[in-house]
Amino acid sequence: MHDAPFPMLRKNGVSTLQVNTGLFCNLACRHCHLEAGPNRTEIMDRRAMADVALSASRLRFATVDITGGSPELAPDIAFLLTALTPLAPERIFRTNLVALRERPELVALLAEGDWTLAASLPSVQEAEVSAQRGGGVWDASLTMLKRLNAAGFGANGPRKLVLVSNPAEASMPMAQDEAEKFFRQELTAKRGIVFDSLFVFANAPLGRFRSWLAASGNLEGYMRTLKERFNPDAMAKLMCRSMVSVRHDGRLFDCDFNQAARLAARWGKHISELEEFPENAPVATGDHCYACAAGSGFT
């Protein structure tokens, strides 16, 4: 990528350990950059989880962030949660809501550890959710949000519930404050569902979403839009600069998007070998990086 400053990107203030537990997921969302789904077999085993926990105990990250696929469906996820809970002051668990509904015992474990739940909900319009995630997902998501509220998540206490939204089409998201106001109107005012905050992000042109863009004739236009919306001010806070990202097999990356792009970290190979924070190390980049630096950015 020679027409943007991304090749000069370097780590700065590494503080987050993000763990991707694998590509197995109960959904096959159209916007998924990892192409996760029910037929994927990649999943983190207990040995890799133990390597992650050992690294977290050694380096003491400020934040641990568990994602997938559907991390709820990893057979040993309770082991990983229990191991990481005392090792970082901020703990984030990402969920598509539907998978968490199948593991009610995890809700209690997450609540006990005061984990922040980052729940993916692409829209507050049933038709848009169904188009992106399939029939029945809308009702299941609302049911799970109410259960999480009942468990104390999203009530302005230590158990935070953060919603994450992505556009359904080849477009940029609406302004974050405008989107949050709309979500609160539709979820809180109309349905009594409370949440702490909302984040909206552009979809990365990777995986299943990139395939859809190409097949629908939208790839060139979408990439042009991302480049036109490039925001130099977003560069300082890009997540890849402060993150160590671990794949299900323990391999190291700069971020979850680079996992999808198969761009391995230049500063380390495996989590078991990581002995210090990779400060000032170069960050691997590709044209998908424009999604993180467009508009308000992906931080």
pLDDT at residue 168, as a whole number: 73
Task: State the pLDDT at residue 235.
Answer: 86
Whether pLDDT at 204 is above 50: yes
- Please give the tally of structural domains in the chain: 1
Q: Would you say residue 299 has pLDDT above 70?
A: no
Q: Where residue 123 sits, what CATH number does that domain have?
A: 3.20.20.70
User: What pLDDT, on a 0 to 100 scale, did the predictor assign at position 169?
Assistant: 81
| Structure confidence by residue, pLDDT tens digits, 62-96 | 999 999 999 999 999 999 999 999 999 999 999 99
Residue 195 lies in a domain: yes
Determine, yes or no, domain membership for 1.
no
For residue 189, tell me if it sits in a domain.
yes
Bond before 13 cis per omega within 30 degrees: no
Instruction: Give residue-wise pLDDT tens across range 124-168.
Output: 989 888 888 888 999 999 999 999 999 999 977 789 999 999 887
Structure tokens at 128: 């848009």
Q: State yes or no: pLDDT of 1 exceeds 50.
A: no
Higher pLDDT among residues 3 and 45, named by residue: 45
Residue 15 belongs to a domain: yes
- Angle between helix axes 126-133 and 137-150 (nearest 10 degrees) is 110
The pLDDT of residue 112 is above 90 = yes
pTM for the model stands at 0.94
- Residue 296: the pLDDT is 65
Average pLDDT, the chain: 92
Residue 118 falls inside a structural domain: yes
CA torsion 201-203-205-207 (nearest 10°) is 130
Residue scoring higher pLDDT (176 or 250): 250
The answer as to whether 110 is a domain residue is: yes
Residue 160 lies in a domain: yes
Summarised one tens digit per residue, pLDDT across range 182-194 is 999 999 999 999 9
Domain of residue 88 covers 6-291
- Tell me what the mean pLDDT of segment 241-259 comes to: 97
Question: Is there a domain that residue 71 lies in?
Answer: yes
Whole-angstrom distance, CA of residue 211 vs CA of residue 32: 10
Cβ(33)–Cβ(204) below 8 Å: yes
